[in-house]
Amino acid sequence: MVSSKRTGAALLFCFALGAFAQNTEGGRWLDVDFPRDSPVLPVTFSLGPATTVRPLGASMGLDLHASLLLRNTGSKTISGLTLRVEAQDLNPAGKGSVTVPSLQVRPGEFFPVSINLRLQRPFSLGKNEGAVVQVSLDCALFADFSSYGPDQLHSRRALMVYELQARRDRLYLSELLRAGLWPRIREELNFGSQDLHLPQLGFELLRDAATGVRRESALPVGTMSFPSAPVQATSGAAQVAGNEVRAPRIEVKNMSQRPVRGVDMGWIVRDEQGRDFMAGSVPSQVKLNGVEAGTITESGTLRFSRGAGQPLMIGALLAFVNDVEFADGKLWIPSRSDIETATNDPLLRRALTNSPEQQRLAEIYRRKGRSGLEDELKRINP
């Protein structure tokens, strides 16, 4: 016997498929649309077999899996890019993005990009002339730190941070390579270091979280400093309930003479057993003149959880300046020396140096060995 709940779900699913089929009959699933003067253009694109549609409340949930082949048609090396992915006429849940750092794609070269996103589209939308999902270029960052694109998602800053991290890590590994320190290189790329396995930690910023009836308590926020940071966190406080931090407030000071327009605050969470976890960062727009103090506040709620989704009960909090954006658009990130000085915890050190570029180089080493890593470092850092 089939329950009425299952029957209702099946009917809803059939309705979703029917609505989707009607909406896309004679149309297209996917459009990739870049401006004609774009320095990067699509060559081919295709949907993966895992792309599906399913009911999601009053909407259709689109599990999108697509592959793009792009080409650098400009005159500059592309360091990274961000794509906007949108389903037509949607609420915010129907918008997403894909950021690809550490590209180093020279003029004329081709490169693949994978899209794996979950989007949401109302059943009630009528037939339209465009595709269900549209992919466009938000920002492309070049090796000289110039950029192209509307940057509607403010992705240029994130791409610049990734590129600065990549250059820092490539230079460090190249120095180890020249010194013949292969055991240290293997350690940096996380080979043979199972005792330094990084725990997975979930981090959410909830803008409209309900406070509910959870009992909150005031908690001072400690600080961790990088010696060369132009902006230092000096103190802080927050309201904490279980695994949630509400209305954190961090006092900062510009130690330099250069005006600052943005600071990305990083968070370290200590659990009940006294273990520290690197827990992500939140960018803030804060204007600081030279040698000026200020306050960074977050109106939303920070929620932390373990990899399996279990709440991480907060015992203590540390804040640090993860990167700084100056008024002229230039950025500061911590150096390797900064990270070594800031903490003696090997797990935290590994988390702070864990960049997309380091992961990419580790994969090259895994597949091609020493010679492959040497060739790649020499190719990018001749």
Tell me, yes or no, whether 177 and 228 share the same domain: no
Beta-strand pair 301-306/201-206 = antiparallel
Tell me, yes or no, whether 360 and 313 share the same domain: no
Read off φ and ψ for residue 299, nearest 5 degrees.
-75, -20
Tell me, yes or no, whether 269 and 360 share the same domain: no
- What Cα–Cα distance (Å) separates residue 278 from each residue in 102, 196, 198, 318? 22, 13, 9, 10
In a domain, residue 345? The reply is no
In a domain, residue 351? The reply is no
Indicate which CATH number applies to the domain containing 119.
2.60.40
In a domain, residue 241? The reply is yes
Domains in the chain: how many in total? 3
Q: How many angstroms separate the CA atoms of 282 and 89, rounded?
A: 29
Tell me, yes or no, whether 43 and 60 share the same domain: yes
Q: For residues 155 and 139, is the Cβ–Cβ distance under 8 A?
A: yes
Tell me, yes or no, whether 252 and 140 share the same domain: no
In a domain, residue 340? The reply is no
In a domain, residue 342? The reply is no
Tell me, yes or no, whether 204 and 279 share the same domain: yes
Q: How many angstroms separate the CA atoms of 89 and 147, rounded?
A: 28
Tell me, yes or no, whether 300 and 206 share the same domain: yes
Tell me, yes or no, whether 327 and 249 share the same domain: yes
pLDDT score at 290: 95
pLDDT score at 234: 94
In a domain, residue 350? The reply is no
pLDDT under 50: residue ranges of the chain:
1-27, 90-91, 192-196
| Largest Cα–Cα separation, the chain | 75
Tell me, yes or no, whether 292 and 209 share the same domain: yes
Boundary residue ending a domain (151, 178, 208): 151
Q: Which domain holds residue 222?
A: 199-335
Tell me, yes or no, whether 8 and 127 share the same domain: yes
Tell me, yes or no, whether 188 and 297 share the same domain: no
Rounded (10°) angle between helices 155-178 and 356-380: 60
In a domain, residue 262? The reply is yes
Burial class from Cβ neighbours inside 10 Å (0-12, 13-18, 19+) for residue 378 reads exposed
Taking the CA of residue 211 as centre, how many other CA atoms within 13 Å lie in the half-sphere pointing to its CB? 8
Q: How many angstroms separate the CA atoms of 256 and 270, rounded?
A: 30
For 268-281, how does the pLDDT look when each residue is reduced to its tens digit (9 = 90+)?
888 888 888 887 78
pLDDT score at 135: 94
pLDDT score at 13: 41
Tell me, yes or no, whether 274 and 239 share the same domain: yes
For 335-372, how does the pLDDT look when each residue is reduced to its tens digit (9 = 90+)?
999 999 998 888 888 888 889 999 999 999 999 999 99
Identify the CA nearest to 285 among candidates 276, 294, 272, 273: 294
In a domain, residue 20? The reply is yes
